[in-house]
């Protein structure tokens, strides 16, 4: 009887181990894409603290990040799909890039050139 319980216990442990490996492998599969880039003004100078918003055109879901001190930004882990990206900052014209198609595991690089509003 003890041998049956030991075999059953080993089977349960092996099943749980396989399930953990399967879940870990599934999580390692990235089902998203990223958009990165730099926000600059008309002279090519970096524009820090601009708000960069990626909008999924199918779902309407938005993700907003600020540009860093060098104007750089990364909008990470976006579900694949078609996006519109808006960049806004007080004193500058709004920048929009439309119909950006993101595919699995892609990093799309966007150059957001801005012009000063005087």
Query: Same domain for 46 and 104?
Result: yes
Other beta carbons within 10 angstroms of residue 45's beta carbon come to: 11
Query: Same domain for 44 and 98?
Result: yes
Lookup: tokens for 58: 């199918």
pLDDT at 52: 98
**Residue 118 domain-assigned (yes or no):** no
pLDDT at 108: 98
Name the nearest CA neighbour of 82 among 66, 99, 95.
99
Name the nearest CA neighbour of 32 among 75, 77, 76.
77
pLDDT at 113: 74
Bridge partner residues of 87 (DSSP): 52, 95
pLDDT at 117: 43
pLDDT at 17: 57
Query: Same domain for 7 and 18?
Result: yes
Contacts of 1 (CB under 8 A, 6+ apart): none
Tally the domains of the chain: 2
Query: Same domain for 46 and 101?
Result: yes
Contacts of 91 (CB under 8 A, 6+ apart): 116, 117
For the chain, the first-to-last Cα distance in angstroms comes to 87
pLDDT in tens, the chain (118 residues): 566 656 656 565 656 655 544 544 555 566 999 999 999 999 999 999 999 999 999 999 999 999 999 999 999 999 999 999 999 999 999 999 999 999 999 999 998 777 654 3
Question: 11 by DSSP, 3-state: which?
Answer: helix
Show the domain range for 2.
Answer: 1-29
pLDDT at 28: 57
């Amino acid at each position: 009887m003890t041998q049956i319980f030991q075999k059953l216990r080993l089977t349960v442990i092996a099943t749980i181990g396989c399930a953990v490996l399967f879940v870990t492998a599934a999580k390692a599969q990235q089902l998203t894409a990223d958009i990165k880039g730099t926000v600059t003004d008309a002279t090519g100078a970096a524009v820090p603290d601009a708000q960069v918003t990626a909008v999924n055109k199918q779902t309407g879901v938005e993700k907003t990040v600020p540009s860093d001190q060098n104007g750089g930004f990364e909008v990470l882990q976006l579900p694949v799909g078609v996006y519109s990206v808006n960049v806004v900052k007080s004193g500058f014209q709004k920048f929009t890039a439309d119909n950006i198609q993101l595919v699995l595991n892609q990093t799309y690089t966007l150059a957001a050139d801005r012009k000063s509003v005087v």
